Amino acid sequence: MKNIVIIGDSGHAKVIVDIVDAHPDMRVYAKLDDKYDSQFIEDGIIKAPISNIESLFNQDATLKVILGIGMNAIREKIIMTYDLSSEVFVSLIHPSAVVSPSARLGVGTVVMPNVTINADSLIGDHVILNTGCVVEHDCVVGNFVHISPLAVITGGVHVGEGSHIGAGASVIPGVQIGKWSTVGAGATVITTIGDRETAVGNPARVIKREG
């Protein structure tokens, strides 16, 4: 049995719990969140501030960790703050997801129900592929990206580190999306989006550029 520690205990973590529960060889062992001041047990699950992670590993070095936080920048901050080796992270794939045998997934990535990842796509670390999204063939998805429910990135699209593709958005083949950018819900992206830009609409237009 793999004991899973979820970092984060809000909405996104609830969906992660369902994915863990869909695997008979895994169980949720602890949920760590800085909304908790001290450690306690609720319904058989340890709840504690994130800084308790070290003491949990001292008790059980076989624990596996997943980041249950939807905000890309906060997932990155947790990785920068806590000195956890990449081997402690588990990737979670819901049994209903379809993942090509030639696709590659990094560590700590979550693949939610009804996701499709097609041939030769490369998915980075601590990525969220949210419910029902499609990553077509030959895509490259950077670390800490979140592709929201029902979004479609078509063949050969590159999504840079930390970017967020909104719910139901579409990106046409071969388009590049920069780092830490945002594509609004329902957008249709037909041209390159730069780093730290926000684009919305059909066709998508940049409405914000951050330095």
Positions touching ligand COA (CB under 6 A) are 130, 148-149, 166-167, 182, 184-186, 198, 200-201, 207
Q: Looking at beta carbons only, is 98 or 207 nearer to ligand COA?
A: 207
70 assigned ligand-binding residue:
yes
11 assigned ligand-binding residue:
yes
Q: Looking at beta carbons only, is 201 or 203 nearer to ligand COA?
A: 201
**Integer Cα distance of 28 and 47 in angstroms:** 11
Q: Is the dihedral of CA 55, 58, 60, 62 positive or negative?
A: positive
Q: Looking at beta carbons only, is 56 or 151 nearer to ligand COA?
A: 151
Angle of CA points 35, 163, 4, to nearest 5° = 45
CB 11 to ligand COA: min, Å: 9
Would you call 137 a catalytic residue per the annotation? yes
Residue closest to ligand COA, measured at CB:
184
Residue 184, both tokens = 């609004």
106 assigned ligand-binding residue:
no
* Catalytic entry in 94, 137, 158, 164: 137
Beta strands in 43-160 (DSSP E): 45-48, 64-67, 92-93, 98-99, 104-105, 110-111, 116-117, 122-123, 128-129, 134-135, 140-141, 146-147, 152-153, 158-159
Residue numbers in the known binding site for acetyl-CoA are 146
Residue numbers in the known binding site for substrate are 10-12, 70
Q: Which residues are catalytic?
A: 137
Residue numbers in the known binding site are 10-12, 70, 146
